A and B are shown apart, each in its own frame.
Chain A
Amino acid sequence: MQIIKSLRKFDLALLVLSVAVFAVLEVLIDMRIISSFWRLQIILIGINVILAASLNLINGITGQFSLGHAGFMAVGAYVSAIMTMWYDLPFGAALLIGGLAACIIGVLIGIPTLRLDGDYLAIATLGMGEIIRICILNIQAVGGASGLTGIPRLTTFAWVFWIMVITLFFLKNMINSTYGRSCISVRENAIAAAAMGINTTFAKVLAFAIGAFFAGLAGGLFSHYFSIAHPSSFTFLNSYNYLTMVVLGGLGSMTGSITGAALITFITAALSDYPEVRMIIYALCLILLMLFRPQGLFGSQEGSLLLRRLMNRRKEAKANGSTLGNN
């Protein structure tokens, strides 16, 4: 039972860290030390971390190039808003239903499109995201082109933070199980994976379903923060932006997705006063990254693993040093 014990220990450490980060931020927000502008940015970082991490499950972990994440987010945003506005459901239940709706759409669209590979899948998911958006645009009951307004403002920092933590724990635990390993094996070599008894179609659909679910949750948080859901928030460019976060952090690395989402949201916010140079700096950052770290900040590794490697290397260096000293 050593494995589960050490895993539990690690989980506990992460949980303690989360509580600490939450407490500090919450106090700062309550005492209004953080301005309302930066409070908005912190909430956006949380939502974007959920989106980037769930997209990373599809694109980075399972290796399926999807460009339709904003579409799933839109489904969650609208469905959860309908639940709170028309049916007076509690916020948590509305979010869950929004996530499940996105998940169902993900599976329905995923089953036929996941037969495609690489570029073809990218084009199909891109089309799918646009179809979802254009459908919403033409449903007058949910506001059509002027958007759905009057959504209750239920999203708080606490909601965003803890749903983000749950998302990350969920994805981390999934990756460290046979289910996640099946997804990884599909990315590495689908033919070999099948020869090892892995149902590759199931693994792909699972990744798509879970990824879409969390994108839906993020959508619900989003629409209940701005109290409006508008089709223009869920365009192809938004999907592209989440993909940039994942690639920046490193495809396949959850630590990377968190960093990528935080960094891009932060850069966008910090440069919001200089809109004319914003895109230039943004593009420069990406070009530099492609030149010096094409595999992304973290590659496909997790931060915890890199830290352990570094510590081992230190220890080894020390051990080597001492043997040299003895000679």
Chain B
Amino acid sequence: MAALLETTDLSKSFGGIKAVQNFLIHIDEGEVIGLIGPNGAGKTTAFNLLTGVYVPTTGKILFDGKDITGKKPYQITALGIARTFQNIRLFGELSVLENVKIAFTLHASYSFPEAILRIGRYGKEEQIIDERARELLAAFKLDSLADEQAKNLPYGQQRRLEIARALATRPKLLLLDEPAAGMNPQETKELTQMIRWIRDTYKLSILLIEHDMALVMHICERIYVLDYGKILAEGTPDEIKNNPAVIKAYLGTEG
């Protein structure tokens, strides 16, 4: 298996705060990887570095054989990294269907004049976008809510819509920032199955940040543990569970 994502000594400082230091990660095709760590460890910052929201202070990011360091978020998405956000960022006033349609923009090729005159590729591609968007909603059991305003969905469905929307960009790597946050146990159980199903159906790799240890231990093939911006440990769920440094980071000060 070829490495899909590789970083070299990625760091990011905000003024005096070293939010992420020497972040080394590699993800192979088809892997489900976990990124865990206490609050403020730098997990979301690492996502923001990988997706181009922040430019790293030092280090390089190689994705699919290309150096993507310093590229803009929209360029990185076009190359095949999609994400969801810890604090959900849907297009709240728009319908569920429109949310997904917007994410298909990347794969439409009709020109501006074709759009204005409604000629050429416009009709065919709009038809495809509409069909694909509805298929995706059906796969995520959101089809009956297609015309609902996104902000009116219950929390769990908003999270699901955000994942569906990210998949519409057809990523090779999907980054999920705390997808189970705010979900009830039943929804978390469904999410656990869904993540595997997404990986197998859409043939992609997944990197996920999650505080729900049961979920992480259950579905991740490998786990990275971040603490104070540094990688504390890396390994299979069993290795991580029994790693004394990890236990200390999570329980040490309190226990």
Contacts and interface: CB of A to CB of B under 8 A. Distances in A.
Interface of A: 1-4, 7-8, 11, 170, 173-174, 177-182, 184-185, 188-189, 191-200, 206, 300
B92 A188 contact: yes
Interface of B: 51, 53, 72-74, 77-78, 82-83, 85, 89-94, 98, 101-106, 108, 110, 112, 115-118, 122-124, 126-127, 129-130, 165-166, 168-169
A170 B89 CA distance: 30
A196 B92 contact: no
8 contacts: A3-B130, A177-B116, A178-B108, A179-B115, A189-B92, A196-B168, A197-B78, A198-B74
Q: A interface, by DSSP: helix, strand, loop or mixed?
A: helix
A114 to B, nearest CB: 15
A195 B73 contact: yes
Contacts of A194: 72-74, 77
B127 A196 contact: no
B117 A199 contact: no
A231 B120 CA distance: 43
Contacts of B73: 191, 194-195
B102 A196 contact: yes
A192 B93 CA distance: 14
A152 to B, nearest CB: 30
Nearest to B53: A191
Nearest to B130: A3
Nearest to A199: B74
A1 B102 contact: no
A184 B150 CA distance: 14
A320 B142 CA distance: 25
Nearest to A193: B102
Contact of B118 (A7, A192, A197, A206): A7
A206 B102 CA distance: 17
